[in-house]
Homo-oligomer: A and B are copies of this chain.
Amino acid sequence: MTKENIINSALQQLAIHGYEGTTMKKIAEASNIKSASIYYFFKNKEDLVNNVLLKVLSGHFKAMTDEYFKYENEELKVRFETLLEKIVRHHRGNQNETAVYLRLMESNNTDFKMEVEQYLKQYNQWLTEKLYRNIKDEYTCKDETAIKDLLETYMLIGNGLFWGSIIYSDSRIEKEIVHAKNLFNLAMMNMLEEE
């Protein structure tokens, strides 16, 4: 389908050139159509990019939730660790998608910026809540603050992993995953001890 074709080409172009650097002509060429034809399917550039962003973000959310539920029955520690790893693998396997929302977040188009930021907030919130529930359900932890701290620490490690997945080579990334898992184990054990 042409429409899907255009979205994919746009995704690719946006990943490489960013919003300002992506032209309708380049997208059209990558789709083997003429640029005028894009306007049959999309109102304008913004509309098209919005569609791309929607695809990227919903794809990300689906991948993340799928991953989460796949390991729902595992032991808590394993679940946390696996999720950490899966985040990296997803970014590595979908570098274009990640590049797109990174670049749109930094574009000077406020709409995209806000959309990405809002999504990120929502996703973080969803994840945090899930994880919070998990801990609550499995550990009889009295100290709510301790849980929150652990989760924030978890996010910190996740962020480090994320940025590493952007700037590091494949081999380095594998090490990062190991370090991240170890780090989280330490943090968790530390919390349980204090308890």
Contact = CB atoms under 8 A, between A and B. Distances in A.
Interface string A66-98: 000000000000000000000000000000000
Interface string A156-175: 11111111100100000001
Interface in A7-23: 16-21
Interface residues of A, number: 36
Given A106-B18, A183-B187, A156 B160 contact: yes
Interface string A164-195: 10010000000110011011001100100000
Interface string A120-157: 10000000000000000000000000000100110011
B179 A186 contact: no
Contacts of A156: 157, 160-161, 164, 176, 179-180, 183
Contacts of A19: 21
B164 A159 contact: yes
Contacts of A163: 159-160, 162-163
B21 A167 contact: no
A107 B179 contact: no
A114 interface: no
16 contacts: A16-B108, A17-B20, A18-B106, A19-B21, A20-B20, A21-B108, A106-B106, A149-B179, A153-B179, A156-B161, A159-B161, A162-B163, A163-B163, A182-B190, A186-B186, A186-B190
**Which 7 residue pairs are nearest across A and B when measured between Cβ atoms?**
A160-B160, A20-B20, A159-B160, A159-B163, A156-B160, A163-B163, A186-B186
Interface of A: 16-21, 99, 102-103, 106-108, 117, 120, 149, 152-153, 156-164, 167, 175-176, 179-180, 182-183, 186-187, 190
